Amino acid sequence: MAINPIERIEAIGVVPVIAIDNPADAVALADALTAGGLPIAEITFRTKAAAEVLAILHDQRPEFLAGAGTVLDLESVQACKDNGASFALSPGFDAEIVAAAKAIGLPFAPGIMTPTDLTAATRAGLRLCKFFPAGVAGGPKALEGIAAPFNHLGVRFIPTGGVTLETMGDWLKHRFVAAVGGTWIAKPEDISGGKFAEITAKAKAAVERVKAIRAGAA
């Protein structure tokens, strides 16, 4: 039986957040991340290439867990369906987008920043949310306070925005954090510059850091 995308995200512990401009770089990027132990990426709809990148990865690297990010409208939800996205996230909560994702069976994590946002998400039946922008929203202490009244519901989070290799432990030490999202692993300029060996090295470092944190060694 195939592993649920959300379960895979939690098992891996870190999701590279990708803004990619050239679809021709898609396969090399996926291979670089996979070589570093991260067969996963959130391909954000911040670029026009996102939908095509998702389609390429779905067709050419089906074992790679390619999801969509910055899903801000119903057109993007449809693009996720049409191009084989395995999961999707957004920076905020929109009930219409949540309903559309649910209707097509797309695992979806909306962004939250306040208890009001989280109340709306849980009322919609969601138990995984993005905490964004994690750094400026107050960091781990803020999320701890926001999450506390909802812990009995089993809500978990993917903090994204300002998370680094050095601060991963501050987030992942909390049981309510399923994974962190990171832009540092594969920056747009590294992808366009063909620095795939560096991307592999950053992916490997992130994976090793997750293992150390979860083992209690960091």
pLDDT of residue 1: 42
At 109-150, the pLDDT tens digits run 999 999 999 999 999 999 999 999 999 999 999 999 999 999
pLDDT, average across residues 60-64: 97
Of 45, 43, 3, 4, nearest to 26 by C-alpha is: 43
At 151-168, the pLDDT tens digits run 999 999 999 999 999 999
Catalytic one among 7, 10, 42, 202? 42
CA 164-165-168 angle, to 5 degrees, is: 80
Tell me if residue 130 is catalytic. Answer: yes
Inter-residue contact 12 to 40 (CB < 8 Å): yes
- pTM for this predicted structure: 0.95
What residue spans of the chain are helical by DSSP H?
Answer: 5-12, 26-35, 50-60, 74-82, 95-103, 115-123, 139-147, 168-172, 188-192, 196-214
pLDDT, average across residues 73-79: 98
3-state secondary structure of 40: strand
56's tokens: 């390429």
Give me the half-sphere count of Cα atoms (radius 13 Å) on the Cβ side of residue 125.
Answer: 7
pLDDT, average across residues 36-51: 98
Residue pointed to by tokens 């905020």: 92
pLDDT score of 2 more than 70: no
Domains in the chain: ranges and CATH:
5-210 (3.20.20.70)
At 168-218, the pLDDT tens digits run 999 999 999 999 999 999 999 999 999 999 999 999 999 999 999 999 855
3's tokens: 């592993």
Catalytic one among 96, 130, 166, 195? 130
Residue pointed to by tokens 């039986």: 1
pLDDT score of 9 more than 90: yes
